[in-house]
Chain A
Amino acid sequence: MASIGLRGITKTFGDTQVLNAIDLHIADGEFLTLVGPSGCGKSTTLRIIAGLEAQTEGDVEIDGAVVNHVRPSRRDLAMVFQSYALYPHLSVRQNLATPLLLRDLGFWERFPLFGALVPGRRKKIETLGAAVRDTAGTLEIEHLLERKPGQLSGGQRQRVALGRAMVRNPAAFLMDEPLSNLDAGLRVHMRAELSELHRNLGTTFVYVTHDQAEALTMSDRMAVMLDGDILQLGAPDDVYQNPQDLRVAEFVGSPKINVLPGECDSAGRLSCLGVALERRLAKSADGAISLGWRPEHFTLHPGETSECFAGRLVYKENLGADVYLHAALADGAHRLIVRVTPARAHDAAVGDALWLDPDAGRTMAFGPDGRRLALAEDDEAERVV
């Protein structure tokens, strides 16, 4: 159990800077996800925490102690790799036992043949065997113990990799895209299992993924990374409902948030493609404004009004429980994706005209630099009108 702190972590490879002074504090027992598109620096951050990569500048702290010069093997962290990185020549049992052997047995005790003569070794081997059996029991892989990794399915290998990390009760788990080699169904199943495992172990988890769904479903907090910066750090709900940056808004959420160009007048009143919106900005902004709405933040209007976006249905994406309607707007340049219930979508046919009404108060406005712009409180808006 440990807290992990990053202070001003910078990493450069040659001339390219991949991490720009990252600051991050991960609380003891927290499940923190680093999420971002590939190349954003999230894996590098994880490898720097592990000690497998040296930071160019900054400090890594574990439980308050700076570990910059501590070898990975002495940091008491366990890592699960995307490729699982199991030792292919060892059976599952030996794979699980390896971290314990390396930690608990001295050099001479591990020495081939000769090691068996060292007193006290047998006792250590027994406790170690018990720990392996316990871990295998927790992960339900006891029946696989004698097999080699090559004889296992992807999901089983994943469990063995988890087991190898768990078996020595590390201070924290580092996971580098552990689910991305699994098929879709198993991935969803493993999300639930990992969350449960985290609850039961109560250990700190640092989880790296490019899949925003994994970040949203599992983490206590998620850090959205892009181009070597943490753009937003917060609870999944908060990041989804209240993105502080247009790039965060676009990255988190599937299907993607709808973004349309907006205008604002001197009083901060917003309009978009000729449709006046109910809300206004707290402070008027210059330059190009972007307005965003999640697919669930629209209602279908039965007939034409001036407060609605007019469009034509081009595609119905039926997911069973929800239906996403893809509408081409009248200006010909933009599209909106709107979530509706199957019942509501039943009548709509491709080619039909749609009137889409953005929910009042759900509008997110972003400035020219992509930063979120605050909306004025409701009552103020009324006073101005």
Chain B
Amino acid sequence: MVRSRAHLWFVAPAIILMIVLLIAPIFVAAALSFTDYNLGNPGFNWVGWKNYESLTKFSSYKKMFTASLTYVVVVVPVSVALGLGAAMLISSLRFGGEMYKAIFFLPVMATLLAMAIVWEFALHPVVGVVNDVLRTGCDIGWLHALLTGSWLGFDPAGSWYGSSCTEDFPVWFGDKKYALGTIAFIGIWQAFGFNMVLYLAGLTAVPRELYSAAEMDGASSAWERFRLVTWPMLGPTHVFVVTITSIRSFQVFDTVEALTRGGPAKSTYVMVYAIFEKGVKQNLLGIGSAITVVFLAFVLVLTITQVYFVNRRVHYS
């Protein structure tokens, strides 16, 4: 029998494109991370692990890892919990659910960069609406008493609100104590609508009869039905939502670029911003590639954890 080689011709274009477009760039980045190549230079030297060593040595890179990991650790659980809560509230509505869905999804549809301008304005220390409102509260006696805890007998100056009233409210993006938290808040605001939509899809897949069965079995409170049915039945959704949100949080860039540029004092110097600064703005491709490789490693670890450890436990059939 004559074996035709035609099949190779059919798969070759797809395989070549895949190698050139998807796999090769990663290997190029990995190779560059072992050089001191600067864009525009005629040549480069192999420097071995030097770029990676500097990642562990310099404090600005330590701050980079701290910023990225803190951002992920704050944004993921809060936006996942809010997304689940909003999805459960919306799915329990008889009407109006579509409207809430659209409203909560707005931040996802609007680009983060455009919304960053709005946040920059709202959180402006002098003309921003947020600090304006907070300042107004200082002059309203009962509100001041409530927020400072002085109605319970605490010293007003000892509380955050009380001391801010006397010393003025924070410069949200300009104070290293608040900058990352504020960026994380915007990240949560943006991500939870997306998680809500994923959870809404997950909730529609929970068989109604399971709730009836739980009720018959004696699960009389909403909390018991949630623990017995909703939470475990959303297992695959949890994995997906947590993975996607983690990866997207690692990728945070646009708010940082628009609002803080990594500052103040590198407190918001997240990984993708560092890649952008080193590799694009300063043309230091070697160190930029090294951060890229570490970044990909983080994402890869997350994905592999999902596939090999968690997925097996949440698919029940």
Residues in chain A within 8 A of chain B (CB atoms): 47, 50-52, 71-74, 77-79, 81-83, 85-90, 98-99, 102-103, 148-150, 164
- Can you list 19 pairs linking A and B with CB atoms under 8 Å apart? A52-B216, A71-B220, A72-B215, A73-B215, A73-B216, A73-B217, A74-B220, A78-B216, A85-B210, A85-B212, A89-B232, A89-B233, A89-B314, A89-B316, A99-B217, A102-B217, A102-B218, A103-B218, A150-B317
For B229, the chain A residues whose CB sits under 8 A away are 87
Contact yes or no, B317 A87, CB < 8 A? no
Contact yes or no, A72 B316, CB < 8 A? no
For B235, the chain A residues whose CB sits under 8 A away are 89
Contact yes or no, A79 B218, CB < 8 A? no
CA distance A82 to B233 in the complex (A): 19
For B310, the chain A residues whose CB sits under 8 A away are none
Closest chain A residue to B215 by CB distance? Answer: A72
CA distance A37 to B314 in the complex (A): 38
CA distance A174 to B171 in the complex (A): 65
For B213, the chain A residues whose CB sits under 8 A away are 79, 81, 85-87
Give B220-234 interface residues, CB cut-off 8 Å to A: 220, 224, 228-229, 232-233
B128 within 8 A of A: no
CA distance A79 to B216 in the complex (A): 7
Residues in chain B within 8 A of chain A (CB atoms): 207, 209-210, 212-213, 215-220, 224, 228-229, 232-233, 235, 314, 316-317
For B219, the chain A residues whose CB sits under 8 A away are 73, 102
CA distance A47 to B215 in the complex (A): 12
Closest chain B residue to A174 by CB distance? Answer: B216
Whole-angstrom distance from the CB of B213 to the nearest CB of chain A? 4
Contact yes or no, A83 B207, CB < 8 A? yes
For A164, the chain B residues whose CB sits under 8 A away are 217
Closest chain A residue to B219 by CB distance? Answer: A102
For A81, the chain B residues whose CB sits under 8 A away are 209, 212-213
For B212, the chain A residues whose CB sits under 8 A away are 47, 50, 52, 72, 79, 81, 85
Closest chain B residue to A90 by CB distance? Answer: B232
10 further A-B pairs in the complex, CB-CB below 8 A; given A73-B215, A73-B216 = A72-B216, A73-B218, A73-B219, A74-B220, A81-B213, A83-B207, A88-B232, A88-B317, A148-B316, A164-B217
Whole-angstrom distance from the CB of B33 to the nearest CB of chain A? 43
CA distance A72 to B217 in the complex (A): 9
Closest chain B residue to A167 by CB distance? Answer: B217
Whole-angstrom distance from the CB of B200 to the nearest CB of chain A? 20
Whole-angstrom distance from the CB of A105 to the nearest CB of chain B? 10
Contact yes or no, A149 B216, CB < 8 A? no
Whole-angstrom distance from the CB of A74 to the nearest CB of chain B? 7
Whole-angstrom distance from the CB of A244 to the nearest CB of chain B? 34
For B217, the chain A residues whose CB sits under 8 A away are 73, 98-99, 102, 164
CA distance A237 to B103 in the complex (A): 62
Contact yes or no, B316 A88, CB < 8 A? yes
For A86, the chain B residues whose CB sits under 8 A away are 213
For B220, the chain A residues whose CB sits under 8 A away are 71, 73-74
